[in-house]
């Protein structure tokens, strides 16, 4: 299933929807139509686990021929929010997780030219999350080196503490897209959170596709365009540390909980690695896509003096 958090109109809380045939079907209202209690938001759905997904599928099947008015809205008539508008904790970011990106970072960002021997983990706070269509903030007093990074996001569905690689994929709820926006001139003594965690530095969405509907998360094309010009294109088969390795590594010391998000790293083609270097500026439009999931599209806007 392709799941979204949406708003129908200008006000109100985001609601959980399923995208199907160009329509956004409201999950809670769908449940009411068949006499089944179904969740109204993404985090509650993830908490409820596989039984809730099966109940949604059954309700979709039961109403396939006729649905009451008001349950489904054309996709173009809703505003999509981030799939999890306010994550419960920081997003886990993974640095230097594609071989070619390790090489370009060593040339331009003073990182090691050697491949990491274990995942490089950092984080982005919940306040950095924005939805498709919302602006990436460019504050010239803070940065002159605002960069892009398209990434596959993994959403955790089941609590994971000291999980083995063999068991790791059973803890995945689904997948999405993240742009790991980075102010390259805001790294502080090797610490990345201020560079990567400022407000609006985590465009996320437009949807979460459940794990069962992604045949192989290690064979997905991902790409990024700036003003229509392609800057990044690769495939998740080139991940240095695959998804089971990342889950096992993080959960070895930090418990992963339902709704937690792992941004799995970016391939080569970031602005810092180009010759000459390129950055995002007010007026730019950045599009990020992952096959089978969707496209994030965010304008860059000026804030501050």
Q: Quick one: pLDDT at residue 97?
A: 93
Is pLDDT at 10 greater than 80 in this prediction? no
pLDDT band at 110 (very low <50, low <70, confident <90, very high): low
Is pLDDT at 132 greater than 80 in this prediction? yes
Collect all residues with Cβ–Cβ distance below 8 Å to 284 and sequence separation of at least 6. 226, 227, 299, 300
**Spelled out in words, what is the top-level CATH class assigned to the domain 91-303?**
alpha beta
Given phi > 0 = left and psi -120 to 50 = alpha, else beta, which region is 187? Answer: beta
Listed range (67-81, 121-135, 147-161, 225-239) with the worst mean pLDDT: 67-81
Rg (CA), the chain: 19
Dihedral (Cα; 101, 139, 279, 100), 10-degree rounding: 0
| Over residues 262-275, mean pLDDT | 94
| Over residues 132-159, mean pLDDT | 97
Listed range (2-11, 120-129, 196-205, 238-247) with the worst mean pLDDT: 2-11
How confident is the model over 187-238, as pLDDT tens digits?
A: 887 788 999 999 999 999 999 999 999 999 999 999 999 999 999 999 999 9
Tokens encoding 206? 């437009």
How confident is the model over 24-40, as pLDDT tens digits?
A: 999 999 999 999 999 99
Q: Which residues pair with 155 in a beta bridge?
A: 174, 261
SS3 assignment, position 57? helix
Helix, strand, coil shares of the chain, percent, nearest 5, are 25, 35, 40
Give, for 49, the enclosing helix (H) or strand (E): none
Q: Quick one: pLDDT at residue 66?
A: 87
CB half-sphere exposure, 304, CA atoms < 13 A: 9
Q: Where in the chain is the domain with CATH 3.90.850.10?
A: 91-303
Listed range (24-33, 52-61, 97-106, 111-120) with the worst mean pLDDT: 97-106
Is pLDDT at 243 greater than 60 in this prediction? yes
Listed range (91-105, 210-224, 237-251, 253-267) with the worst mean pLDDT: 91-105
Distances (CA, A) of 236 to 15, 29, 93, 169, 264: 30, 36, 15, 15, 9
- Please count the other Cβ atoms lying within 10 Å of the Cβ belonging to residue 54: 10
Q: Quick one: pLDDT at residue 101?
A: 62
């Amino acid at each position: 299933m392709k799941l979204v958090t949406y708003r129908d109109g200008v006000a109100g809380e985001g609601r959980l929807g399923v995208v199907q045939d160009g329509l956004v079907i409201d999950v809670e209202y769908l449940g009411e139509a068949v006499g089944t209690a179904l969740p109204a938001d993404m985090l509650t759905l993830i908490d409820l686990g596989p039984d809730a997904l099966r109940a949604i599928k059954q309700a979709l099947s039961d109403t396939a021929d006729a649905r009451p008015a008001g349950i489904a809205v054309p996709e173009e008539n809703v505003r999509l929010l981030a799939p999890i508008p306010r994550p419960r904790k920081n997003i886990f970011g993974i640095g230097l997780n594609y071989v070619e990106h390790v090489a370009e970072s060593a040339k331009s960002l003073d990182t090691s030219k050697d491949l990491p021997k274990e995942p490089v983990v950092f984080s982005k706070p919940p306040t950095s999350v924005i939805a498709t269509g919302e602006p990436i903030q460019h504050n010239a007093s803070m940065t002159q080196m605002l960069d892009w990074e398209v990434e596959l996001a993994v959403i955790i569905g089941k609590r994971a503490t000291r999980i083995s690689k063999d068991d790791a994929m059973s803890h995945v709820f689904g997948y999405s897209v993240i742009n790991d926006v980075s102010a390259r001139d805001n790294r502080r003594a090797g610490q990345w959170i201020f560079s990567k965690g400022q407000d609006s530095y985590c465009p996320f969405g437009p949807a979460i596709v459940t794990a069962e509907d992604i045949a192989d998360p290690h064979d997905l094309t991902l790409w990024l365009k700036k003003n229509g010009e392609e800057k990044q294109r690769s495939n998740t088969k080139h991940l240095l540390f695959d998804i089971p390795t990342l889950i096992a590594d993080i959960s070895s010391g930090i418990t992963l909980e339902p709704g937690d998000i792992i941004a799995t790293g970016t391939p080569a083609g970031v602005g810092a690695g180009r010759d000459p270097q390129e950055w995002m500026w007010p007026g730019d439009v950045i599009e990020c896509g992952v096959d089978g999931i969707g496209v994030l599209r965010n304008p860059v806007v000026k804030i501050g003096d």
